[in-house]
Amino acid sequence: MLGGVIRGKIATLRVPTEADLADYSRWMADPRVRRGGWVWHEPAMLATWKERLAEIAKDRQQVLWSVDEKETLVGLCVVTMGDPEQSDAVSFDGLVIAPPAQRRGIGADAVLALHRYLFDYLHTRVADAVVAADATAALGLLERLGYIRYARGANVRYREGARVDELSLRFDRATWDERWAPSEREYQRHAPEAAL
């Protein structure tokens, strides 16, 4: 699926367009992005990226957003929704912020806005993420948000001629409500009887 619009304080997650694809390909080829530990597809020709966009638009579980700062494309974000029997669980697959736009708070704002949407609008019960153990920026971002580590896979990924461990992280709605809901909730929750 192609995600709708989610607004943060400085970042906006929006529907991706074909005009975004050349930037996607360039980022996926950038060694700084690749070193970060997560890449959404390999760099390819524009025709291949158009096929990938068409494929994800038809996918009922994976959701893609482009990330803007002041109406300028600066990144992309991918989430996988749970299957129909577990629709209240999601997998945060990854976020890429273009190297020139990094270290300006865009990624943190985009991830916070995304999780506000996941927990407060979609009523997600739990979100998980899998990150390379040496992806310190991604780990720091997720752990500041509220993700906790629960598993480590030894030598799971092969990158730049060496094996790298992989960490599994988890973030639940109770942690979201405790840490972020008082300051980040857009609408007050109503008692269940108010919906009648």
- Residue 20 confidence (pLDDT): 96
d(CA 176, CA 179): 5
Q: How confident is the model at residue 86 (pLDDT cuts 50, 70, 90)?
A: low
Q: Does residue 135 fall inside a structural domain?
A: yes
Residue 196 lies in a domain: no
Confidence band for 150, pLDDT divided at 50, 70 and 90: very high
How many structural domains compose the chain?
A: 1
Q: Any alpha helices (H) in the chain, and if so which ranges?
A: 21-29, 31-35, 46-58, 106-116, 136-145, 173-179, 181-184
Q: Domain for residue 192, yes or no?
A: no
* Residue 166, domain member (yes or no): yes
Quick check: is 132 in a domain?
yes
Tokens of 19: 């005009």
Q: Note whether 123 and 172 are within 8 A (CB).
A: no
Q: What proportion of the chain, given as a percentage, has pLDDT over 90?
A: 63
Q: State the residue range of the domain holding 44.
A: 6-186
* 170 is a domain residue: yes
Report, as an integer, the average pLDDT of 12-16.
96
- The DSSP output letter for 130 is E
CATH number of the domain within which 40 lies: 3.40.630.30
Render the burial of 76-90: b for 16+ CB within 10 Å, e for the rest.
bbbbebbeeeeeebb
Residue 191 inside a domain? The answer is no
Give a yes or no: residue 1 inside a domain: no
Measured at the alpha carbon of residue 139, what is the angle toward residues 115 and 177, in degrees to the nearest 5? 30
Can you give the pLDDT at residue 160? 73
